[in-house]
Structure 1
């Protein structure tokens, strides 16, 4: 299939719309960075478990404690 037509659009937002567009882009960037941090934390945890010579250090409890101590995982509050 060959495309023979192309269209170019330009935005001309008002001042209020500019602010909304910037907030939307900023929120998207925050979400992307959050997801990237989760992926990196999972990969580093997997790498740490792969190279651990002890059988007990590959468990999820020990691995989570090590990652949490490094600050790689967010701390979750429990209800009292």
Structure 2
């Protein structure tokens, strides 16, 4: 099963989402509207995104609900 890692830094208003492990050789490309695409610099494969000036309820990311806290294991 794939793991998605989501990091939210409220003081910096920065939301980072990785669907692959971060790389030492990653590069970033701004897509516009404060959205940054993170790619592996060797393969060019997208591995994550960052959203600048993010606050919960941000309409640029309105289909995902970000909640702080730990998930309960069943």
Q: TM-score, normalised by structure 1?
A: 0.21
Larger radius of gyration: 1
- The structure with the largest helix share of the pair is 1
Choose between structure 1 and 2 for higher RCO, CA contacts under 8 A separated by at least 6 residues: 2
Q: TM-score, normalised by structure 2?
A: 0.22
